[in-house]
Amino acid sequence: MTRTPSKPFLDRLAGLLGPKGYTTDLDSMAPWLTDWRGKYTGHAAAMLSPASTQEVAAVVRLCADEQVALVPQGGNSGMVGGATPDATGDQLLLSLRRMNRMRSIDTAARIAVADAGVILEAFHQEALAHGLRFPLTLGGKGSATIGGLVSTNAGGTQVLRHGTMRALVAGIEAVLPDGSIFDGLAPLKKDNRGYDLRHLLCGAEGTLGIVTAASLHLVPAAAARRTAWIAIDSPEQALILLRQLDASIGRELEGFEIIPHACLDAVLRHIPQTRAPIAAVHPWYVLAELAGESDQALSDALERELAAALDAGLIRDVVIAKNDRESDDFWRLRDSISEAERAEGPALQHDVSVPVDRMPTFIADNPARLTAAFPGTRALSFGHLGDGNVHHHVQPPVGVDGAAWLAEHGTAVSRLVYSHVIDLGGSISAEHGIGQMKRDILAELDSPARLAALRGIKAGLDPAGIFNPGKLIV
């Protein structure tokens, strides 16, 4: 168990970090003690903002000695309350944002090394300034940090081609729970010295180590992109289309999102200055994007493949964006779904994955499972079909007090969704992680073998439990 930090202990931390690195001022801390979705609020004995890996290590050594809990935080844009302290006020918030230096960029090897606090959008710009591209992006790019993206193994809309953060991490520097510094930044393509700490720390949500820097793979900047908005009958048909595109133009296929008409409809009703790319109503849409070197080659390939799909009756209709502005308009429809759904009223959101070929089954079967147990609910799935990952939103029955209904039935509804996912061999968290939001449901529904292994790893690396206690695993 961790302890309440004493006044003399806090004074030592204040002395170590100086005025820029230490605060207990409530107004300064407030923005970082509530997660950005406003679902979790905590308290902290102090907020620490070290300026270097050595300072992080010194903080951790002190905390290890005193058994005081640390909650690491990057941009505070996580989805599961993983960076919010608990309510006791005994935990220390450890912000990595002050460590925001680019350490190096090697254009020949296409590797950049960045401090944990570098913001994703700044990292994108840094890569572009060197004629390169970091092929991971997501809605929170203006606040999400490299350290947070590594620690949560972030996903986004380019995973289909480039993988999640894990695939882009060439090396990691982290402070371990005993205060030692693990220097694994060297970008080794082969390294069989036993257990892979890089992969273990990636997605560990700060419970095993505090990521202080990362070496990241870059790719050549894409000179061209082409985006298509496709009307289609069903997720089954979309999966067939995906397999066809993958076989013929898989190397250029970077995005493949599916959107049901109800989601598009909500966007059109709630989000200003949006319009449907295809006027007629269709059950489903696919947003597909190619990226490559030649605009003409991409256009030719996309037109050829989609014309064939149209002729074969696999798709109902298609519009290809004529320019970047139209591409952006298509993506805005996709990226506004969550906002539009919020405007519709409260809903339960689930970020789930199953093996790709089982996703149409999940999407088709889940609404009926839900209405059988909870009549009147409406379930919508949209997102990354190519990754076997959809965001699955469940709305309360029409006419009830949504918030009250969710307070009463939400947990049971989610349990039903997650059980279905597990029946299909899937994961109750595809890209958002576990944090505090899914901690208890993970402990309830995951296999005893896996849970015991997770607990063993945690106990072996952080026996005192000072790193982000109460998150991920209990």
**Residues facing 228 on adjacent strands:** 288, 320
Q: Is 197 in the site for a second copy (CB under 8 A)?
A: yes
Among 97, 133, 226, 384, binds a second copy (CB under 8 A): 384
Asked if 5 and 45 count as a contact pair (C-beta separation under 8 A), the reply is yes
Asked if 419 and 445 count as a contact pair (C-beta separation under 8 A), the reply is yes
Among 276, 454, 464, 466, binds a second copy (CB under 8 A): 454
Q: Are strands 348-353 and 317-320 parallel, antiparallel or unpaired?
A: unpaired
Among 76, 77, 389, 395, binds a second copy (CB under 8 A): 389
Q: Is 128 in the site for a second copy (CB under 8 A)?
A: no
Give the residue with the Cβ less far from a second copy, 341 or 431: 431
Among 20, 39, 251, 269, binds a second copy (CB under 8 A): 251
Which run of H or E residues covers position 64? Answer: helix 53-66
Least Å from the CB of residue 285 to a second copy: 21
Least Å from the CB of residue 460 to a second copy: 2
Number of C-beta neighbours around residue 88 at 10 A: 14
Asked if 458 and 201 count as a contact pair (C-beta separation under 8 A), the reply is no
> Residues 294-333 vs a second copy: string with x where CB under 8 A?
----------------------------------------
Among 11, 191, 293, 328, binds a second copy (CB under 8 A): 191
Q: Is 428 in the site for a second copy (CB under 8 A)?
A: yes
What is the total count of residues that contact a second copy (CB under 8 A)?
Answer: 78
Is residue 419 classed exposed, middle or buried when 0-12, 13-18 and 19+ CB atoms within 10 A define those classes? middle
Which residue, among 462, 441, 464, has the nearest Cα to 208 in the 3D structure?
462
Give the residue with the Cβ less far from a second copy, 4 or 361: 361
- Rounded Cα–Cα distance for residues 335 and 418 (Å): 24
Give the residue with the Cβ less far from a second copy, 122 or 219: 219
> Residues 203-242 vs a second copy: string with x where CB under 8 A?
xxx--x-----------x----------------------
Q: Is 468 in the site for a second copy (CB under 8 A)?
A: no
> Residues 134-173 vs a second copy: string with x where CB under 8 A?
------------------xx-x---x----x-x-------
Q: Is 472 in the site for a second copy (CB under 8 A)?
A: yes
- Rounded Cα–Cα distance for residues 239 and 272 (Å): 31
Asked if 229 and 321 count as a contact pair (C-beta separation under 8 A), the reply is yes
Taking CB under 8 A as the criterion, which residues in 335-364 touch a second copy? 353-357
Q: Is 1 in the site for a second copy (CB under 8 A)?
A: no
Q: Is 275 in the site for a second copy (CB under 8 A)?
A: no
| Cα-based distances in Å from 116 to 50, 223, 338 | 11, 29, 28
**DSSP-based three-state secondary structure for 319:** strand
**Residues facing 132 on adjacent strands:** 220
Taking CB under 8 A as the criterion, which residues in 43-72 touch a second copy? none
DSSP code at position 369: H
Which residue, among 329, 231, 320, has the nearest Cα to 273 in the 3D structure?
329
